[in-house]
Amino acid sequence: MTRAERPAAGTVLIAYGSLMSGLGLQSFRTLPVLDARRVRLTGCRRGFGKLSQYGDRFAMVLEPAEPGVPIACTPIDDATPRDGDGGVDALALTLTIPELARVAQREGYRSNVLLTLAHAAEREDRGLGTHLWALLAAADFDVGRYRRRLADSVAYSSPHYVPHPVATGGEPAITFLAPGPEGSGHDDVVPIRVQSAMTRLCTFREAWRLKPNSSQLDYAAMCVCAELHNLSLADVLHDLPAYPPLAALLRARVAAEAAAETAAFCAVLAMSAERYAERFPATPGRASFLVR
């Protein structure tokens, strides 16, 4: 891809957990974006499954659903299935590289290493997403082999989250995946999920059974507030209606944030009310948990 064919500015970050809400984004105070929109991910599954750096709780994890099949995303439109098709609703944020480096640092991946990757991509006259995609393709879309190539290229990996490309039909987007049994890419860096012997993905109900505390509830609320922006989290909440007390507890926690959520979301992302209304329409309805 030539410089003329690349997007004029910005790299697309796919957020699929707490960064989908103003409540979850508040740790940045400001994270100005060039654009924000809802997307549907395929070729992956999501769940609570990694011990967090920031509290006694399990954070959200995304992982490929099938070996050798890349994760892909498409914009959500009126025809996009709400749930039941195996897809995952997520948030696409178009950021400058310095802002993306801030996100990387929050995810436990050194910001200076992310900048090193961006500089390597620039030297090759391509975007960061294309740079990472080339590493993935060279590894025949094997995640473990991709991570080894990535770690070798920068002499670094993280036990927390590692950048991963996502197919878009154009310049690939970037998300951060928590390494599991497939490894971090470096033998000396054991993934947190492996250290804790927690390599499966949980619904919120299952995570609560393991961590029935305020930290887990607060984190779940950060994720579920995304439903206030018309994003479905049915994949991690589908079994919750069978446990009414826990469902009521989570709804009450989210309700406590609801009045301030949209304003907080727009303020952190420096998004106008007009752009928000355009990018996050209320219909057709996608939220599945908060409307029940």
Specify which residues 37 forms β-bridges with.
Answer: 92
Q: Rounded to 5 degrees, what angle do the CA atoms 34, 36, 39 make?
A: 140
Residue 3 pLDDT greater than 90, yes or no: no
Average pLDDT over residues 72-76: 97
Q: What is the pLDDT of residues 121-152, one digit of tens each?
A: 999 999 999 999 999 999 999 999 999 999 99
Q: Is the pLDDT of residue 207 over 80?
A: yes
Looking at residues 83-106, what average pLDDT do you find? Answer: 95
Model pLDDT, residue 62: 98
Backbone angles phi, psi at 266, to 5 degrees: -65, -35
Question: Is residue 47's pLDDT more than 90?
Answer: yes
Asked whether 20 and 107 are in contact (CB, 8 A), the reply is: no
Instruction: For residue 226, give both structure tokens.
Output: 């995304």
User: pLDDT at position 7, please?
Assistant: 41
Which tokens hold the place of 19?
A: 């960064």
Q: Identify the CA nearest to 177 among candidates 62, 90, 72.
A: 62
CA distance 135 to 113: 16
The pLDDT of residue 169 is above 90? yes
276 vs 262: CA distance, rounded Å: 9
Phi, psi values for residue 269, rounded to 5°: -85, 0
Q: Distance between CA 106 and CA 33 in Å, rounded?
A: 16
User: Is the predicted pLDDT of residue 216 greater than 90, yes or no?
Assistant: yes
Per-residue pLDDT for 4 more than 50? no
Residue 8 in this model has a pLDDT that exceeds 60: no
Radius of gyration of the chain (CA): 18
Does 158 score more than 70 pLDDT?
A: yes
User: pLDDT digits over 231-289, tens only?
Assistant: 999 999 999 999 999 999 999 999 999 999 999 999 999 999 999 999 999 999 999 88
Contact in structure between 32 and 270 (CB atoms under 8 Å): yes
Concatenated DSSP letters for 128-153?
HHHHHHHHHHHTTT-HHHHHHHHHHH
Taking Cα atoms as reference points, which of 16, 87, 13, 22 lies closest to residue 225?
Answer: 22
Tokens of residue 97, six digits: 């590289």
Cα–Cα distance list, 172 to 94, 110, 280 (Å)? 12, 21, 22
End-to-end CA distance of the chain: 46
- Tell whether the model's pLDDT for residue 5 goes beyond 70: no
Backbone angles phi, psi at 94, to 5 degrees: -90, 115
Q: What is the C-alpha to C-alpha distance for residues 14 and 144, in angstroms, rounded to an integer?
A: 20
Give the model's pLDDT for residue 254: 97
**Averaged pLDDT, 194-211:** 97
pLDDT of residue 284: 94
Residue 196 and residue 232: Cα distance in Å, rounded? 29
Question: Is the model's pLDDT at 6 over the cut of 50?
Answer: no
Q: In Å, what is the CA distance from 26 to each residue of 19, 52, 271? A: 9, 17, 14
pLDDT in tens, 17-38: 999 999 999 999 999 999 999 9
